[in-house]
């Protein structure tokens, strides 16, 4: 007598693997998006350090990221919305992150959405 698996048993195993992958793939994508959002927050904190160094040398904040000794994570776009001698606000976006936009502001300037508390990076 030959021992082995029947076609029905193999089909059941393939179906179970398919169902498990349908559950696991979206969770993996969500985890990757959250990791990208962590990169957004980190880039904004690094921008704060670079802006403060620029302010120390020039007594004003700069609206131009290129004038700072600063680089972003791959795929992240940082935009400085407002920069004066009184403060600055900026947003960071990435199409691969979840949530896709984070913002921060310092000083007495209009906050960039979704930031609402000075110095605290907020994401939406």
Q: Tell me the per-residue pLDDT of 53-81, one tens digit each, with 9 for 90 and over.
A: 999 999 999 999 999 989 999 999 999 99
Beta strands in 69-119 (DSSP E): 77-84, 87-93, 101-107
Assessment of whether the complete model's pTM goes beyond 0.85: no
Residue with tokens 């962590």: 38
Helices (H), the chain: 7-58
Q: Which helix (H) or strand (E) holds 82?
A: strand 77-84
pLDDT in tens, 1-49: 678 889 999 999 999 999 999 998 888 778 888 888 999 999 999 999 9
* 3-state secondary structure (DSSP) of residue 67: helix
């Amino acid at each position: 007598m030959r021992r082995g698996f029947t076609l029905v048993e193999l089909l059941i195993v393939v179906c179970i693997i398919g169902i498990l992958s349908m559950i696991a793939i979206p969770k993996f994508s969500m985890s990757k998006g959250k990791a990208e959002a962590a990169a957004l927050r980190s880039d904004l904190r690094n921008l704060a350090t670079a802006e403060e160094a620029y302010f120390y040398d020039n007594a004003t904040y700069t609206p131009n990221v290129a004038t700072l000794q600063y680089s972003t994570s791959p795929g992240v776009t940082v935009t400085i919305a407002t920069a004066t001698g009184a403060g600055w606000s900026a947003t960071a976006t990435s199409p691969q992150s979840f949530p896709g936009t984070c913002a921060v502001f310092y000083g007495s300037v209009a906050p960039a959405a979704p930031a609402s508390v000075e110095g605290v990076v907020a994401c939406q």
